[in-house]
Amino acid sequence: MADDVTIANPAPAVPDLVQRYLNGESIQALADDTGHCFRTIYKWLLRDCGSEYESLQTDALIARIADADQQLENACTKVSVARAREMAKFARMDFERRRPKLYGPKQESTVDASLTIIVQRQGEPPKDITPERPQISDDAKDIKDL
């Protein structure tokens, strides 16, 4: 069984696996070569291994999108088009969730923080404290008309 094989074989270095994947090897080929189940290879490639492997893993996720796009481009039957389209959607969704800073939905909110205060003391009518516009002198009006 695959779990027995996984226990017997030590895990290979994650950067080596990612680099081999980026060079064009399939996940199944990596699994066959290392003697591990393909699910284990996916787990090693996609788990959070720290910032030192983040760029390699991002490259692998981008490669999955490119592979799916290529399959969609080469699809010639309705079934292969539908399959490739779903694979492309999943690859993008997976990348979006794993790297939200790069490809995730952006959520923005705007806040209007204006405040109006009306002071009314008992017995007095409300006062308008709106600043007055400066008066333009007659000399300034003549200059403005030129």
Residue 54 lies in a domain: yes
Residue 139 lies in a domain: no
Say how many domains are in the chain: 1
Residue 82 to residue 72: CA distance in whole angstroms: 8
Residue 58 lies in a domain: yes
The CATH number for 61's domain is 1.10.10
Please give the single-letter amino acid code of residue 32: D
How confident is residue 85, by pLDDT bands cut at 50, 70 and 90? very high
Residue 138 lies in a domain: no
Residue 113 to residue 134: CA distance in whole angstroms: 27
Residue 98 to residue 60: CA distance in whole angstroms: 12
Burial of 81 (0-12, 13-18, 19+ CB in 10 A): middle
One DSSP character per residue, 52-83 reads TTHHHHHHHHHHHHHHHHHHHHH--SHHHHHH
Residue 83 lies in a domain: yes
> Which pTM was predicted?
0.52
pLDDT tens for each residue of 86-132: 999 999 998 888 888 777 666 777 777 777 777 777 776 666 666 66
pLDDT tens for each residue of 25-73: 888 888 888 888 888 877 777 776 667 677 777 888 888 889 899 999 9
Give the domain extent around 60: 2-103
Q: What is the pLDDT of residue 110?
A: 76
Residue 67 lies in a domain: yes
Closest to 63 (Cα-Cα) out of 50, 79, 45: 45
